[in-house]
A and B are shown apart, each in its own frame.
Chain A
Amino acid sequence: GENVEQHPSTLSVQEGDSAVIKCTYSDSASNYFPWYKQELGKRPQLIIDIRSNVGEKKDQRIAVTLNKTAKHFSLHITETQPEDSAVYFCAAPYSSASKIIFGSGTRLSIRP
């Protein structure tokens, strides 16, 4: 069925350490995988996305990896900073890209 599983639901890391969030999708035809960041009281904003023709994409401290065979993709944040504290959502299209399904979110906290 239409489902995007996201883990963990909460994550606490020491400032400067790395954080990894993982998502698994169900539709093998999915070909676009965005990650959104939602700070407290604010709207979600795209931070990085990847299309199925590449396996990895990086943007400064943020990277996303995609394993189409296993149908999972991951967000990697290195050298975490206090401003990285937020809820992160992964997403994947479903049913011939007719709609997008979001994961349940990961609340990331950065400890000083």
Chain B
Amino acid sequence: GAVVSQHPSWVICKSGTSVKIECRSLDFQATTMFWYRQFPKQSLMLMATSNEGSKATYEQGVEKDKFLINHASLTLSTLTVTSAHPEDSSFYICSGLREEKGSSPLHFGNGTRLTVT
């Protein structure tokens, strides 16, 4: 159980356009979802915490107007990268929070590879 589906797996877009990434919890209700970004050879960097029905909490240095997060239901959170630039090219990973005794509280999507040309 605890499956998270992330779509698309990869996307190439032109500079200045917007890209939407979807994250769905398929078999559990994720009140809280996390959005991470990972640059090559670096660890996961938390971008924001998304709570269903409320505004996302962004980490320091992450522009909330550029990275729009919507968590309208208990099974869907979306991240929209607005006016994308080449420096936004990265691996974006979402995860749903579901506490399981003795196991990981985070259930990751498969990630989205974004390339901005």
A and B form one complex: no
* Chain A residues proximal to chain B, CB less than 8 Å: none
